[in-house]
Structure 1
Amino acid sequence: MIEAELKARVREPAVVRERLGRMAVGRDEVYRDAYFDTPGADLEAGDRELRLRTVDGPDGTRALLTYKEARVDEVSGSKPEYETGVGDPAAVRVMLNGLGYTETLAFEKHCRNYEFTAYGRPMLATLVRVPEIDGTYVEVETQVSGERELRGALGDVRAVLDALGVGEGDLTAELYTDAVRQRRTRES
């Protein structure tokens, strides 16, 4: 599956939150993301990601292991993504370390998630704040089975962003991982 996603900086978080609230009921969750790579940073060099995420929300805590391949669309940063639930995150950490992967970065994301259907597609819109980064972001995504469907899906995602009042100039392909690393580098 390919995650057809667009991300944007939000100029007016209260307005976007209110508009999303008309589309679906929001769910507050905190993501604790840990990224893993080889000692030689082979995954990062290949534009790939390996992430262990723990999600704390109103329904309890769950964990997910995610592998993202290299981007298939440079403008949006959309990537093929493979994700599965994890019953014991501590055991997965041990397995990853045993396979030669080490944790290279960890940070929190404070999210409000909205799930709805738009243009015949299941959509997930997330308002995101990363405590180490200034500002609020919105991510809107849907899943497609192949690259041929990506352009249409991104058009539908863009239409949702338009409905939220998010302009083309607010879009960004910057990764949270890069922004957190830059912030930490400036502070050290």
Structure 2
Amino acid sequence: MSGLIEVELKATVADVDHVRAELEHLAPGVDETYHDTYYDLPEETLTARDQELRVRTVTNAAGSRSLLTFKAAPVEESSGSRPEHETEVYDPAVADTVLKALGAVELISFRKLCRNHRFTADGREVLATLVEVPEIEGTYLEVETLAPTDEIDTGLSTIRTILARLGIGDADLTTETYTGAVTAARQHRA
């Protein structure tokens, strides 16, 4: 994904049935479970720079695959759109061992239950995902596309058009992270 920005907006979903039906009309969905583990350096250097390092294992009816992802700091603040660099890894346990040997520490690990819809809009490949995280309340919708740096606004416009079609307005948008929400939920239960 070198040179491309992950342009994404995330929203809370009030009318899940409506959004689910509209997404199914756009493209049949695929159910996938994500197991995400986030890492940082002991001094939380990546967090301080608003960067993320993650190993994700995606499981669906066809099997599973794992991805190592580095997300640079956002280049567009209102949406949090950022450069993302990702590669498939054969064994997530080996990736964990390598990262820890290099000095990384595990920050948090959790599951996301996702229904992914892939389609084209305005000539762009789009991924729309309905997300539930068992540890936190609510259903979320993430809509993303990839764009060169000079097309971030155009990508966001495409995403906003899709969100409007799904009945999602600006008041529904959120920049809250799953890592932050899961951390808060765990602290509240402790």
For Structure 1 versus Structure 2, the TM-score category normalised by the shorter chain is over 0.9
Aligned to 1:185: 187
Aligned length: 187
Amino acid at match of 2:16: P
Q: 2: distance between equivalents of 1:174 and 1:107? A: 16
Which of 161, 164, 168 in structure 1 is aligned with 2:163?
Answer: 161
Amino acid at match of 1:25: P
| Equivalent residue runs for 1:59-78 within 5 Å | 59-78=62-81
Give 1:114 shift.
Answer: 0.1
Amino acid at match of 1:47: D
Q: Per-residue CA shift, 1:68-107, capped at 9, x if unaligned?
A: 0001111111111000101111111110001000111000
3-state DSSP of counterpart to 1:172: coil
Aligned to 1:19: 22
Q: 2: distance between equivalents of 1:125 and 1:107? A: 20
Amino acid at match of 2:143: V
Aligned to 1:140: 143
List, as ranges, runs of 4+ consecutive aligned residues in structure 1 with deviation greater than 6 Å.
none
User: How big is the alpha-carbon RMSD for the aligned residues of Structure 1 and Structure 2?
Assistant: 0.6
Q: 2: distance between equivalents of 1:126 and 1:49? A: 20
Give 1:145 shift.
Answer: 2.1
Give 1:168 shift.
Answer: 1.1
Q: 2: distance between equivalents of 1:179 and 1:140? A: 19
Give 1:139 shift.
Answer: 0.4
Q: 2: distance between equivalents of 1:65 and 1:32? A: 12
Q: 2: distance between equivalents of 1:175 and 1:74? A: 14
Aligned to 1:3: 6
Instruction: Indicate whether 1:126 and 2:136 are aligned.
Output: no
Instruction: Indicate whether 1:55 and 2:58 are aligned.
Output: yes
Amino acid at match of 2:53: L
* TM-score, scaled relative to structure 2: 0.97
Q: 1: distance between equivalents of 2:157 and 2:180? A: 26
Which of 167, 172, 175 in structure 2 is aligned with 1:173?
Answer: 175
User: Which blocks of at least 5 consecutive residues in structure 1 are unaligned?
Assistant: none
Instruction: Indicate whether 1:149 and 2:151 are aligned.
Output: yes
* TM-score, scaled relative to structure 1: 0.98
